[in-house]
Structure 1
Amino acid sequence: MPRYSLIAAIVLAAAIFLFDTLTQFDVAIAVLYVAVVLLSLNFTGRRGTLAVAAICILLTLISFVVTHGAGMESGAVARALVSLAAIVITTILALRLAATIAIIGESERRYRTIFRSTGVAILEMDFSALKARLDSMRSDGARSIEDIVRDDPNFVREALGLMKLVNANDTTFSTFKAPNLEAFRESLPDLTPKEMEPSILRMLDAIWNGRTNFESEGVMDAIDGKRLNVLYTVAMPTDRRALDVVLVSIMDVTARLEAENGLHQAQAELAHVSRVATLGELTVSIAHEVNQPLAGVVTNGEAGLRWLRRPEPDLGEVSASIERMIADARRASEVIKRLRALSSKATPQPTSVDINELVQDTLTLVQREIASQHVALRLSLADGLGRISGDRVQLQQVIINLIVNAIQAMGAMPVGYRQLAILSRAGEDGVVLEITDTGPGFEPADEARLFAAFFTTKPEGMGMGLSICRSIVEAHGGRLRASSPASGGASFEFSLPADKEAA
Structure 2
Amino acid sequence: MSIIKRCKKLFLSDAMAWLAAIAVGSMIFITNSMLNMDVAPTLLYITLVFMSANIFSIPVFLTVAISCIGFLTVSFIVEEGYRDQKLIAGFVRCLIALTTITLLALRSKRASDSLRRKEAFFLGAQKLSHTGSIGLIIDTHTVSWSEESARIFEYPLDVTPTLALIRARTHPDDLHIVERVFEKAALRESLIEVEHRLLMPDGRIKFVQMSANPLFNPHGRIEYVGALMDVTASRQSEEALFHSQAKLAHVTRVTSMGELAASIAHEINQPLAAVITSGESCKRWINREEPNLEEARRSLDRIIQNSCRASEVIACIRALSRQSDVQRKTEVFDDIVSDSLTLMQHDTSNHQVRPHLQLGAPEALVKGDRVQLQQVIINLIINACQAMANVHDRPRTLRIHTSVQDDEAVLEVADSGTGISEDILASLFDPFFTTKQNGLGMGLSICRSIIEFHGGRIWVSSTVGVGTQFFFAIPLTALRHDE
Task: Establish whether TM, by shorter chain, passes 0.5.
Answer: yes
> Which position in structure 2 is the counterpart of 1:219?
198
Equivalences for residues 103-252 of structure 1 within 5 A: 103-110=114-121, 118=128, 120=130, 132=140, 168=147, 172=151, 194-195=172-173, 197-210=175-188, 215-222=194-201, 225-231=202-208, 233=210, 238=215, 251=230
Which of the numbers 454, 459, 470 marks the counterpart of 2:432? 454
> Which position in structure 2 is the counterpart of 1:431?
409
> Which position in structure 2 is the counterpart of 1:26?
none
Which of the numbers 360, 377, 398 marks the counterpart of 1:420? 398
1:12 is aligned to 2:23? no
- Unaligned runs of at least 5 residues, structure 1: 24-28, 135-161
For residue 398 of structure 2, give the secondary structure of its aligned residue in structure 1. strand
For 1:282 and 1:396, the matched residues in 2 are separated by: 13
Flag the 1:326–1:8 CA change in 2: closer, same or farther, 3 A: closer
For 1:112 and 1:481, the matched residues in 2 are separated by: 44
1:93 is aligned to 2:70? no
- Unaligned runs of at least 5 residues, structure 2: 1-16, 53-59
For 1:491 and 1:97, the matched residues in 2 are separated by: 69
For the 8 Å contact 2:188–2:214, the answer to whether it is kept is no
For the 8 Å contact 1:9–1:40, the answer to whether it is kept is no
| AA in 2 matched with 1:92 | L
For 2:326 and 2:421, the matched residues in 1 are separated by: 35
The normalised TM-score by structure 1 is 0.73
More moved, 396-405 vs 209-218: 209-218
For 2:50 and 2:204, the matched residues in 1 are separated by: 52
C-alpha displacement at 1:55, in angstroms? 4.7
| AA in 1 matched with 2:334 | N
For 2:70 and 2:336, the matched residues in 1 are separated by: 93
> Which position in structure 2 is the counterpart of 1:137?
none
The normalised TM-score by structure 2 is 0.76
| AA in 2 matched with 1:277 | T
> Which position in structure 2 is the counterpart of 1:156?
none
1:276 is aligned to 2:254? yes
For 1:16 and 1:236, the matched residues in 2 are separated by: 58
For the 8 Å contact 2:409–2:475, the answer to whether it is kept is yes
> Which position in structure 1 is the counterpart of 2:449?
471
C-alpha displacement at 1:263, in angstroms? 3.3
For residue 429 of structure 2, give the secondary structure of its aligned residue in structure 1. coil
Which of the numbers 267, 271, 275 marks the counterpart of 1:289? 267
Aligned residues: 452
- Cα-to-partner distance string for 1:21-79 (whole Å, 9 max, x where unaligned): x57xxxxx54862541342243442354245335536656887845636xxx8xx8876
Flag the 1:3–1:213 CA change in 2: closer, same or farther, 3 A: farther
- Cα-to-partner distance string for 1:209-235 (whole Å, 9 max, x where unaligned): 45687653313225xx25233325487
For the 8 Å contact 1:413–1:439, the answer to whether it is kept is yes
| AA in 2 matched with 1:453 | P
More moved, 301-310 vs 453-462: 301-310
- Cα-to-partner distance string for 1:255-280 (whole Å, 9 max, x where unaligned): 65454434333322332232233232
For residue 42 of structure 1, give the secondary structure of its aligned residue in structure 2. helix
Flag the 1:101–1:256 CA change in 2: closer, same or farther, 3 A: closer
For 1:205 and 1:433, the matched residues in 2 are separated by: 42
Equivalences for residues 67-78 of structure 1 within 5 A: 68=84
For the 8 Å contact 2:326–2:369, the answer to whether it is kept is yes
Flag the 1:213–1:319 CA change in 2: closer, same or farther, 3 A: closer
Flag the 1:14–1:463 CA change in 2: closer, same or farther, 3 A: same
For the 8 Å contact 1:120–1:251, the answer to whether it is kept is yes
- Cα-to-partner distance string for 1:237-265 (whole Å, 9 max, x where unaligned): 84778899988856372x65454434333
C-alpha displacement at 1:430, in angstroms? 0.5
Flag the 1:494–1:15 CA change in 2: closer, same or farther, 3 A: same
For the 8 Å contact 1:31–1:83, the answer to whether it is kept is no
For 2:149 and 2:278, the matched residues in 1 are separated by: 80
For 1:182 and 1:2, the matched residues in 2 are separated by: 29
Overall identity of the aligned pairs, in %? 30
C-alpha displacement at 1:499, in angstroms? 1.1
- Cα-to-partner distance string for 1:285-321 (whole Å, 9 max, x where unaligned): 2222222222223323333333333344444433443
C-alpha displacement at 1:474, in angstroms? 0.9
For the 8 Å contact 1:228–1:252, the answer to whether it is kept is no
C-alpha displacement at 1:398, in angstroms? 0.8
